[in-house]
Amino acid sequence: MSKKLFVRESSGLIKEVGLIDSIMLNMTNISAGTALAASISPYIIKGALLWLGAILGMLFTIPQAYVYMRLVRIGRTGSDYIWISRNLSAPIGVTVNIAWILEAGAAFALFAYFFSSTVASVVNTIGTIDGVPSLVSISNMISTPAWSYAIGAILFTVIIIINIFKVRWGYRLITISSLLATIITFIAIGVVAAHISDFSTAITPFLQKMDITPPPSYTSSIPPFSWVATIKMLPLFGIIAFVWINATAAVAGEIKKPKYAEWGVLVPLLLSGLIVALGFGVLYAAGGYYLTTYEFMNNGFVYTFWNIAIAVSTNYILQWIIGIGSFLWDFAVLAYGAVIFARYVFAVAFDRILPEIFTVVRNGSPIYIHIFDLALTLSLLVVPFVSISGALALYGITVIGLIFFVFVGASGIRVGFKGKDVKLILASIFTTAYFIFLTYEAVTNPVFSFALPNGAPNPITLGYVIGAFITGAVIYYAAKIIRLRKDGIDIDLIFKEIPPE
């Protein structure tokens, strides 16, 4: 088949991604530091052990990692999209990928907007425990809607400009920020561990100043450890952290060696599992089961790993280092988002579904996609500025990503049967079933913002999710008609082969 069916005979993207870059991409994608903030602990189920839940969440993701390690051998931009569209069908592949792109755009806009809240939390904690009223005032100021929009918009604009100017710098920005965040997280773990013997004394000022000191007989309200409760935490660890291991697949066409891509899947998953388990583990080891569980249940948005690490540190400089580490995780997500969003859009445009201008590459960078991404993000940033409830509803669109992974698993099953690969078949079946379960959890559990407390779907969330998939289907069939009439190309033929590198 002639490669003229594609936009050109090579993608134009440069193999800039080394081993460390590949690993840090998925470290950022999983974002262990964000999981240790206030993403999981406030939603603890009575009787659960979060460090054990983290280990289970990591273990349940290993079959998915195996599927992705096979997938990235294709070595193309948007490898998982390529796998779905070539092994299931073009309409399915395009539809779920366009929906995924629309979900990612909204998610990164939310990260940009609420970045200021992460910074404000650090500044407020340091200001409160050290008795610096000016820092508390600053934290209140930067968490206002106007400042949140401005900070998010400026950060993302700078990130986009860096990626347009030089693609290598975009990758280095991800690697450096996520590597520093990872190192500082281990430092924070060490700080808490160093205070295990005197934790009760070290943490008391923080509890008092934050007004979260437990009542005298609080232990009677805490149920004993339960395996069932811990297992029930699995959806939280899966959806919020571990299953997001698709970053290396998105940029596989730019990774220098196939092995780097495979290690970029497995190493971040194992390392992130270690970080989250250790982060929660030292809190239990220091505070004990009853205090830790009580604080998570009643003050989970204040009694977080990061706040505790800052609180027990008596060194002002160390407090700020730990604080910077906490919001470096969020910054790294923004840096990663600019790269990954562009690659999925590029892959669909290279298949002639989206406008060909999105395949234009300058110095290895898909510049027009980055410009489009910036315009889209700045527009979506208006949503939380105008309506916080509307913005919070958009957190529920995570279900789109879970559905995307269902189809990744399904395509793996088909490839496994074609190649008589029993390991791939079993891993793909488990992955598909696991994501069907996670999708069910995401649409029924109000914690994930898709469903309201009464069980009914949030109309804003439901509308966005349905609209995203409808948009994907409409774009595919519109492209099919336009390409046939304008260029005489049946785009279905494009999906019978892998695109050129």
Question: For residue 67, which of 462, 324, 421 has the smallest C-alpha distance?
Answer: 421
Helix runs in 305-387, H state only: 305-312, 316-350, 367-380, 382-386
Q: Give the count of beta carbons closer than 10 Å to the beta carbon of residue 446.
A: 14
CA distances from 150 to 159, 164, 213, 341 (A): 14, 21, 36, 22
Which tokens sit at 14? 């440069």
* CATH number assigned to the domain with residue range 3-494, chosen from the 4 options 1.20.1740.10, 1.10.10.10, 3.10.129.10, 3.40.50.1980: 1.20.1740.10
pTM of the model: 0.93
Question: What is the structure's pLDDT at 28?
Answer: 95
Span 54-63, pLDDT tens digits:
999 999 999 9
C-alpha span between 399 and 464 (Å, rounded): 11
* Residue extents of the structural domains in the chain: 3-494
Tokens of residue 410, six digits: 């399904």
Cα 125 to the center of its chain, rounded Å: 25
Per-residue pLDDT of the chain (501 residues; tens, 9 = 90+): 344 677 777 788 888 899 999 999 999 999 999 999 988 999 999 999 999 999 999 999 999 999 999 989 888 999 999 999 999 999 999 999 999 999 999 999 998 998 999 999 999 999 999 999 999 999 999 989 899 999 999 999 999 999 999 899 999 999 999 999 999 999 999 999 999 999 999 999 999 999 999 999 999 999 999 999 999 999 999 999 999 999 999 999 999 999 999 999 999 999 999 999 999 999 999 999 999 999 999 999 999 999 999 999 989 999 999 999 999 999 999 999 999 999 999 999 999 999 999 999 988 899 999 999 999 999 988 887 777 777 778 889 999 999 999 999 999 999 999 999 999 999 999 999 999 999 999 999 999 999 999 989 999 999 999 999 999 999 999 999 998 888 788 888 888 888 887
pLDDT value, residue 175: 96
Distance CA 400, CA 173 (A): 27
| C-beta atoms surrounding 190 within 10 Å | 12
3-state secondary structure of 199: helix
What pLDDT does residue 31 have? 93
Cβ proximity of 431 and 412 under 8 Å: yes
- Computed over its alpha carbons, how large is the radius of gyration of the chain? 23
Give me the pLDDT at residue 1, please.
39
Task: Report the alpha-carbon distance of residue 6 to residue 501 in Å, rounded.
Answer: 11
The predicted-structure confidence for 150-209, as pLDDT tens digits, reads as follows 999 999 999 999 999 989 999 999 999 999 999 999 999 999 999 999 999 999 999 999
User: For the residues of 75-141, what is the DSSP string, one character each?
Assistant: --BTHHHHHHHHHT-HHHHHHHHHHHHHHHHHHHHHHHHHHHHHHHHHHHHHHHHTT-HHHHHHHHH
Q: How far apart are CA 178 and CA 155, in angstroms?
A: 16
